[in-house]
Structure 1
């Protein structure tokens, strides 16, 4: 080996150092051919020869990379010839430490994106780390390109379908047992090892020569900070990020915690970026490339969606406020109401996605920040911000239409808590506008009950005049237009509107009993309520009960199946979904169909009985009050 390296130069016009470097390449080739991998390592670790050999990597490093590293850093070599793979990996790290940085950087980025093996991914990240550390603060774009390649790779990893569809608690406990999720978490763990030295180097250089104010330009610190937050988004955000009640932390929580803590180290104050959601959504800038107006014109990296997606930033604040990661780093000068309203932009962002896991994070974040408000009220003037309107609409969609029972349950409680957090005028405005716009009749009924409870509380707590939002014209408007309202009079489908009708009757009966002094102005509108609600409801109930009893008799007697077309039409009317209805279905299927139809009809008749009972009690309260009034007048 020494003889080959110390060959005399072949021609006087070839410098000795170049000849030595060529001999080094030939020797490495010979040693690898002979499988003398320890000899390759000795070339760069031997005290006598290592310094000169390492210096040669400046000129022949890329040649060695293409000759030995690139062809041998593959999944096939790792599986069949592990010693050769390890030798190529160590040689790559040496090349990364001494070879030209720019050329090797491009090769490594290509390897990260193209090679699917997690072992090659780990090896290339180690070499990339060495290159980026050598570059220092001079080339933040190189760091940006590198992190983009890593994100592209992780984003392309296959994931199980149930992550998008949602999962229950039993599935949640077994998430990390899935092979695809296990591979994803391995990538994140390797990523943590990759960026830790970079973060340490960035923070050390920042402490010695950092600006007095927070710099938002494209520099190494901000590029890495955006990347760390970006990695908190999908796919990691679709896993279980909650640590409450766990005896040990899962790999998912460890990765999410580490990313959050590292991002906070870049920011010092975690809420430096709280304004970003409002800035992007409320104060959107018109983009016109012809006039030179584009995302980069702000010179603020945190306002660029590609660098810092709102979805990822939302998870970042979820980790801080809900999971309590680095919560002690939040300065105490921020008002809880300001934090809540700024966070609504992030809640809306998560609710705008399709994944149930993101919906759950959104609801948890909002509940946590509402709890922090305690008894502080949200002023009605805040409703001028579109963010509240968007939040109400998104939350009502979750409550009414989510396929996950857990989300609907949390959403119902959160909707009530949110409404009650407003001042009196705010409560009225939110309820009136939701009753006017929400198409889901079950939610409308729930909102009617909330309004009834709010006014009932005011009746008890206020001995003088009630707030205008709970009496007089406002009370009249919300009752006549939105609560006691049948859209088609006596012809309204009472089964479809059952929840709202029952809630309305309960509210009417309550005020007929509790507001005998007419503090709300309830008795002033009773004649109109009778005209547009109770009287048409009585007629509608009579018609509906007669129709359903007749249909029940037909079904029990088998008259509903005289023809297949008529039978199917009746099924559509009852909104049934018969899974085994086909031409091959025989008498057994018809009996099952008939039994199911009978159950539906009887359930609907029970609903009508409940409505009749509530209506009778309500009308009785009206009549008793009228008799009392006439008696007092006499």
Structure 2
């Protein structure tokens, strides 16, 4: 039936000049062609397209057939010969129709693809689209750019496989599509690389810019979130690793300087203000793209052979901090992992105790420190929390004494987390121990310079009202530090200056802590008594109740569970009192010794 209707509409249009084609007749022709496909008349439709008598008609309306032909192709089984007819039809339309109209038809169908159809449409139309672009002549830069951005935007809607099983399965054809996209872009990259003088050839320069923008977009997606480590024993060649290598090879072929791109993140703001680059260039140099480029260079060592080796380790650390900051602000596991790996790779080249404290005046470095703290305290993924803590210690190790001192002060004032503060205080204790050893020449962790840091450490945020459970890590670390100082540094030597500050330490820390412990113990003992009464009143029933510990209301729990929590709190107070008692003993022994010395001196007189 559709075949008869098709012949009728063709006969009507053949006798008309092209300018007299009516819109309703064109619409009837397109709908009829679509019915032919649905009725398995693809061979007939191909003959119609190839027929010389129909060339004027096809030239005028043929690009509208790309959508129906592509949709029909998707419905055919993969091994069906009808797919060959479909490809032949598309190739014939490319040869007959206006190339710009065909281009629009192809891009429109790609852009309209949804969900699972996206990869199939792209894989089908990439080759025809490439043929159209190659035949456009000299003025093709914009068309290449819009084609690449349209395809890339659609692929970014697909989930990037992360595990090796997902990569091997490639359920959504993401790996296959991006590999095909590289082959799609290759002839245009070759055109630029083979141009004798790109700078003087405006068309080649425009094409170069479009292709470079595409490469930067690929750094942001899919490479920023994709797994890039090569694990031959698990999955052979990692397709994303290969994709990254090819993208950076394209950078070099396009004359895009890797070291200038690496440094661009630092200069984008200034360049925008001085109008050296426009807003479209700012998008090209997106933070995530440049951060991924830095990761590829310094962690995966992709493209490193084309990167100059003139940059010193401290300069690389300084420059990479902005990239690391960008990565640590994200929440995805893959991106956070890249941020921590880039951080580690940057610092590994630096000798311990060699970083200058002036680096801590750079905003990006302080933001990275805060980012590390957020990951180690808030990230739900355990191995990232542990890795972040290791990276904080690595950063501490790389700074000289003054840098460590400054970093410790910064962390104590900004971390707002008892566990982090306790960790910092343990590091302070280690630095003091190192400074007290002979010939260290470390003046930052002994004497007058140490005192301000000790006053920050040996204090309670809210005096006697401080929540001791919530701050238990910090308090225990502070008590252990104080005990160490009283044992290690005699009053006669007083190298740390702690004995001269005894009165202030007692007033600001020890006495409020005694009071706070008494208050907290009384409160929790009362809570335990109340919980025991509830338990007896419940007669063994599993009655739910709530309890607040450490300033946080815990989920409803049985009386037995409530008692365990409260008793755990008392155990924490016992530990604090044990160390506090030892500190008091050391102070008392010192006062007694001082008193005896005073009496002995009086007798001598």
State the TM bucket, normalised to the shorter chain: 0.7 to 0.9
Map Cα deviations across residues 560-586 of structure 1 (whole Å, 9 max, x no partner).
Answer: 979xxx9856457874543xx5xxxxx
Given that residues 269 and 331 in structure 1 are in contact (C-alpha distance below 8 angstroms), is that contact kept between their aligned partners in structure 2? no
- 1:195 is matched with 185
- 1:477 is matched with 452
- 1:446 is matched with 423
What CA distance in whole angstroms lies between the structure 2 residues aligned with 1:508 and 1:239? 48
User: Which one scores higher on RCO, CA 8 angstroms, separation ≥ 6?
Assistant: 1
Q: Determine whether 1:498 maps to 2:472.
A: yes
Map Cα deviations across residues 49-105 of structure 1 (whole Å, 9 max, x no partner).
Answer: xxxx9xx98x77744733654321115654269434422323434554675443322
- 1:588 is matched with none
Structure 2 unaligned runs (5+)?
Answer: 1-13, 19-28, 601-605
Selected match of 2:176 from 158, 182, 186: 186
What CA distance in whole angstroms lies between the structure 2 residues aligned with 1:518 and 1:63? 96
**CA shift for structure 1 position 345:** 1.0
Map Cα deviations across residues 12-44 of structure 1 (whole Å, 9 max, x no partner).
Answer: x99xxxxxxxxxx9xxx9x99975589969979
The equivalences for 1:47-62 within 5 A come to 62=59
Q: Determine whether 1:618 maps to 2:583.
A: yes
Task: Note closer, same or farther for the CA distance 1:623–1:376 as it changes in structure 2 (3 Å cut).
Answer: closer
- 2:24 is matched with none
Determine helix, strand or coil for the equivalent of 2:173: helix
Task: Note closer, same or farther for the CA distance 1:75–1:428 as it changes in structure 2 (3 Å cut).
Answer: farther
Determine helix, strand or coil for the equivalent of 1:525: helix
Task: Note closer, same or farther for the CA distance 1:366–1:302 as it changes in structure 2 (3 Å cut).
Answer: farther
Task: Note closer, same or farther for the CA distance 1:498–1:219 as it changes in structure 2 (3 Å cut).
Answer: same
**CA shift for structure 1 position 176:** 2.8
Selected match of 2:516 from 526, 540, 553: 540
**CA shift for structure 1 position 475:** 1.5
Range with greater deviation from structure 2 (264-273 or 522-531):
264-273
**CA shift for structure 1 position 254:** 3.2
Selected match of 1:231 from 218, 230, 233: 218
**CA shift for structure 1 position 421:** 1.8
- 2:6 is matched with none
The equivalences for 1:450-469 within 5 A come to 450-460=427-437, 462=439, 466-467=442-443, 469=444
What CA distance in whole angstroms lies between the structure 1 residues aligned with 2:101 and 2:446? 76
What CA distance in whole angstroms lies between the structure 1 residues aligned with 2:394 and 2:536? 48
Given that residues 111 and 124 in structure 1 are in contact (C-alpha distance below 8 angstroms), is that contact kept between their aligned partners in structure 2? no
Map Cα deviations across residues 91-133 of structure 1 (whole Å, 9 max, x no partner).
Answer: 4345546754433222222122113433321222112222333
Selected match of 2:165 from 171, 174, 190: 174
Selected match of 1:240 from 223, 227, 230: 227
Structure 1 unaligned runs (5+)?
Answer: 1-9, 15-24, 45-52, 164-170, 287-292, 582-591
Q: Determine whether 1:334 maps to 2:311.
A: yes
**CA shift for structure 1 position 432:** 0.8
**CA shift for structure 1 position 347:** 1.2
- 1:115 is matched with 113
The equivalences for 1:31-180 within 5 A come to 36=43, 62-63=59-60, 65-66=62-63, 68-74=65-71, 78-79=75-76, 82-93=80-91, 95-96=93-94, 100-116=98-114, 117=117, 118-135=119-136, 138-157=139-158, 159=159, 172-176=163-167
**CA shift for structure 1 position 520:** 2.4
Given that residues 272 and 279 in structure 2 are in contact (C-alpha distance below 8 angstroms), is that contact kept between their aligned partners in structure 1? no
Given that residues 62 and 99 in structure 1 are in contact (C-alpha distance below 8 angstroms), is that contact kept between their aligned partners in structure 2? yes
Q: Determine whether 1:526 maps to 2:499.
A: no
What CA distance in whole angstroms lies between the structure 2 residues aligned with 1:571 and 1:179? 48
Given that residues 348 and 391 in structure 1 are in contact (C-alpha distance below 8 angstroms), is that contact kept between their aligned partners in structure 2? yes
- 1:554 is matched with 530
What CA distance in whole angstroms lies between the structure 2 residues aligned with 1:301 and 1:571? 52
Task: Note closer, same or farther for the CA distance 1:67–1:153 as it changes in structure 2 (3 Å cut).
Answer: closer
Q: Determine whether 1:425 maps to 2:423.
A: no
Range with greater deviation from structure 2 (118-127 or 144-153):
118-127
Given that residues 535 and 560 in structure 2 are in contact (C-alpha distance below 8 angstroms), is that contact kept between their aligned partners in structure 1? no
Selected match of 1:486 from 440, 445, 460: 460
What CA distance in whole angstroms lies between the structure 2 residues aligned with 1:148 and 1:539? 67
Q: How many residues align?
A: 555
What CA distance in whole angstroms lies between the structure 1 residues aligned with 2:517 and 2:129? 75
What CA distance in whole angstroms lies between the structure 2 residues aligned with 1:389 and 1:506? 28
- 1:168 is matched with none
Aligned-pair Cα RMSD in Å: 3.8
**CA shift for structure 1 position 367:** 0.9
**CA shift for structure 1 position 442:** 1.2
Give the alignment's TM-score, normalised by structure 1.
Answer: 0.77
What CA distance in whole angstroms lies between the structure 2 residues aligned with 1:339 and 1:449? 29
What CA distance in whole angstroms lies between the structure 1 residues aligned with 2:285 and 2:596? 72
What CA distance in whole angstroms lies between the structure 2 residues aligned with 1:474 and 1:499? 25
What CA distance in whole angstroms lies between the structure 2 residues aligned with 1:37 and 1:114? 27
The equivalences for 1:497-516 within 5 A come to 497-516=471-490
- 2:262 is matched with 274
What CA distance in whole angstroms lies between the structure 2 residues aligned with 1:359 and 1:513? 42
Selected match of 2:282 from 296, 300, 304: 304
